[in-house]
């Protein structure tokens, strides 16, 4: 495994980007800004290696970008209703940054911080220490995100966290995938399969109502492989609210601490590339890049357009702190938050 690194200036300080290349020439690029994925370059059916994650031309352009491209949002990924959080009877008012709700930990969050980085033999370990009261969350929190790249083109992300006060944590990676190549246009012709028979119904502000709704006979049914774009324009309330898919599915067979090896399968018929995503997390937020237009310039010198990538975000349920019926995202002193996400690339 070959590892190299390069630094770039930014308004937040120096950003370090690590490149890890395996024996076949497939590689990943990982950034200390937001512990982010900037590049995953893997072969297509003809052996051509290309980047398949949406990427900006300038590593500093990831700062405060709307799409949260490739980064780890936190302290709580996804939405918390009206920024209302209560832990052990104490109420905390989180920063509002998505309509009337708190999203991805707040305006700055973990995604717009430079993490400490330690090079590993086949990856990078990123560490971030979040102070008590940061974005109005309780407790000092230490987060470790460890990425490892394998010889058979599997990227594994292990995320752990500890806190000195009761708090809440929900962490994921927010990479967007286009298996035809990062700058090749729409992903609506990609096919997707999700091993989930239920999804979280949402209100008009995209907060879960608490109902685990059956996917059967709805556009949310991806239990059998189908094109992402097949039903995306259907007259279905949840799709109308989000201008496409931006919803959380309930992973079939989930149990706390159990690794599910294949929750989502994404395929690109043109390139023949296949991505299988597994995790220990109870849910997966699928976001079809409905608001990508106007993002910073990509490596082709253009801005991405809506639906140019799909984010597959393994995570706890949105608004779980306000929904006691959902799997708990609470973290207490003496406990460890520990989750794994696995991205396995192949061809068909």
Both structure tokens of 5: 């690194």
- Phi/psi-derived region of residue 5, left when phi > 0, alpha when psi is between -120 and 50, beta in every other case: beta
Residue 199 phi/psi, 5-degree rounding, is -135, 165
Name 314's bridge partners: 284
**CB of 142 within 8 A of CB of 161?**
yes
For residue 320, count CB atoms less than 10 angstroms from its CB and return exposed for 0-12, middle for 13-18, buried for 19 or more.
buried
Range of the domain at 75: 2-347
End-to-end CA distance of the chain: 25
pLDDT number for residue 280: 98
Angle at CA of residue 292, ends 291 and 298, nearest 5°: 170
Nearest to 110 by CA among 52, 62, 165: 62
What proportion of the chain, given as a percentage, has pLDDT over 70?
A: 100
Question: Of 76, 85, 48, 320, nearest to 207 (Cα)?
Answer: 320
| Closest by CA position to 344, among listed 176, 152, 157 | 152
Contacts of 221 (CB under 8 A, 6+ apart): 215
Taking only the tens place, the pLDDT of each residue in 9-53 is 999 999 999 999 999 999 999 999 999 999 999 999 999 999 999
Q: Give the residues of the chain that fall short of pLDDT 70.
A: none
Tokens coding 328: 């708990």
Strands (E), 173-296: 176-177, 191-194, 198-202, 208-214, 226-227, 246-250, 260-267, 273-279, 283-287
Which CATH number do you get for residue 279?
2.70.98.10
Place of tokens 């599997």: 154
Provide the CB-side half-sphere exposure for 200 (13 A, CA). Answer: 31
Q: CA 20 to CA 247: how far, in whole Å?
A: 32
pLDDT of residue 61: 98
181 vs 314: CA distance, rounded Å: 22
Report pLDDT for 117: 98
Give the C-alpha separation, 300 to 95, whole Å. Answer: 35
DSSP state of 83: G
Neighbours of 72 (CB within 10 A): 28
pLDDT of residue 43: 98
- The 8-class DSSP code of residue 69 comes to T
Cα torsion 256, 257, 258, 259 to 10°: value is 130
Largest CA distance in the chain: 58
- The tally of domains found in the chain comes to 1
pLDDT at 232: 98
pLDDT of residue 62: 98
User: How far does Cα 55 stand from its chain's mean position?
Assistant: 14
> Residues 171, 282: contact at Cβ < 8 Å?
no
SS3 240: helix
Closest CA to 179 of 5, 9, 347: 347
Catalytic residues: 174, 313
């Amino acid at each position: 495994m070959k590892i190299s690194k390069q630094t770039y200036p930014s308004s937040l300080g120096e950003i370090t980007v690590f490149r890890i290349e395996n024996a076949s020439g497939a590689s990943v690029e990982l950034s200390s800004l937001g512990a982010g994925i900037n590049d995953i370059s893997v072969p297509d059916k003809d052996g051509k290696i290309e980047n398949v994650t949406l990427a900006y031309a300038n590593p500093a352009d990831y700062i405060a970008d709307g799409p949260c491209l490739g980064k780890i949002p936190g302290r709580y990924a996804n939405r918390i209703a009206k920024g209302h959080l209560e832990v052990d009877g104490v109420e905390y008012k989180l920063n509002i940054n998505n309509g009337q709700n708190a999203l991805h930990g707040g305006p700055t969050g973990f995604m717009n911080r430079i993490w400490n980085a330690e090079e590993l033999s086949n990856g990078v370990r990123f560490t971030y220490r979040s102070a008590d009261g940061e974005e109005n969350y309780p407790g000092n929190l230490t987060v470790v995100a460890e990425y490892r790249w394998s010889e058979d083109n599997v990227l594994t992300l292990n995320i752990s966290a500890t806190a000195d006060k009761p708090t809440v944590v929900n962490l994921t990676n927010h990479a967007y995938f286009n298996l035809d190549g990062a700058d090749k246009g729409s992903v609506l012709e990609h096919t997707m399969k999700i091993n989930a028979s239920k999804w979280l119904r949402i209100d008009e502000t995209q907060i879960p109502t608490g109902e685990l709704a059956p996917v059967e006979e709805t556009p949310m049914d991806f239990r059998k492989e189908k094109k992402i774009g097949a039903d995306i324009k259907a007259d279905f309330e949840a799709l109308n609210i989000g201008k496409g898919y931006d919803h959380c599915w309930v992973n079939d067979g989930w149990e706390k601490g159990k690794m599910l090896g294949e929750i989502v399968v994404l395929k690109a018929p043109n390139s023949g590339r296949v991505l299988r995503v597994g995790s220990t997390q109870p849910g997966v937020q699928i976001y079809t890049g409905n608001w990508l237009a106007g993002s910073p310039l990509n490596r082709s010198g253009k801005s991405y357009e809506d639906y140019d990538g799909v984010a597959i975000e393994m995570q706890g349920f949105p608004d779980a702190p306000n929904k006691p019926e959902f799997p708990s995202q609470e973290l207490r002193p003496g406990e460890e938050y520990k989750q794994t996400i696995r991205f396995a690339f192949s061809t068909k």
